[in-house]
Amino acid sequence: MFYLTRRIPITIQPFTRRLSTTSQEAYLEPSTIPGVTCLVLNKPKTYNAISRLMLRNIRESLEAVRQDPSTRLLILRSASPRMFCAGADLAERRSMTPRDVHLFLSTGRETLGVLEELECPTIAAIDGPALGGGLELALVCDFRIARNEAKNIGLPETALGIIPGFGGTQRLARLLGITKAKELVFTARKMSAREAHAYGVVDHLSEAGQTGYERSLLLAEEIVKNAPLALQAAKRSISRSPELSLSSGLDFERACYEPLLGSKDRLEGLEAFKEGRRPVYKGE
């Protein structure tokens, strides 16, 4: 059993029963690549604007992924083409009381924290606008891959009299450096995918005629062929590096390395190398 904000108990159904459900604003479905699961945003009428229900669906989906050892990589994408996430649902926001807004921000921060802390690698497939909370969702992923024709990527909150509230100021500064982060937030600039790539907000662009999701699958395929436990250990070690001194970071790397020595996957890797075949990793 897991808990959402305000510690309301929820029961997570098995992953096989939590695939595509059109009544949900976010849901899980398998990709065409074994081991790669998609977290799909499904609110096309508002360009996947983030509502309270969507946050709840995202959180439930993430908890299901945490319990599912078959998921070796997660892709965050839109159910509809040429979309990603247009930020908070402003129509819903207008009806919120100050207490509602406080709870919404707390829930969003916690939910993005769960996504950021997933053990498996994560990719945001940006096929359309990624504004405000939408870009903040993408920033917690390990990689951001955009359709080369996508537009409206940015944090425009200062133009609305607020600032990013799901961690955007902190994560953007850590990603780009303080000066570039200040420029993008102060100006409320909305970038094209190519501009976002030049800034370093986006890691890869799709080829002409290719979607961001299709480009994401290519990177996912390169990643999931490797040992799941090693990927998890590598993510844990690299993610902690900015907050540690080099000496402490080296010690932490060693602490992440040591448990792998007794894994079945390590032995499989050695045997596969000896036999000249591709290893079959099971995450054990």
Nearest to 116 by CA among 143, 87, 94, 91: 143
Cα atoms in the Cβ-side hemisphere of radius 13 Å centred on 148: 8
Across the strands, what pairs with 50? 88
* Catalytic residue from among 49, 88, 124, 130: 88
Residue position matching structure tokens 């499904």 = 42
Cα atoms in the Cβ-side hemisphere of radius 13 Å centred on 68: 27
Task: Give the number of other CB atoms < 10 A from CB of residue 146.
Answer: 32
* Catalytic residue from among 136, 154, 165, 233: 136
Instruction: Report angle CA 278, 70, 201 to the nearest 5 degrees.
Output: 85
* Catalytic residue from among 108, 128, 132, 133: 133
**Residue 136 annotated to the active site:** yes
* Catalytic residue from among 157, 168, 193, 227: 157
Tokens of 161: 């009299």
Could you list the active site residues?
88, 133, 136, 157
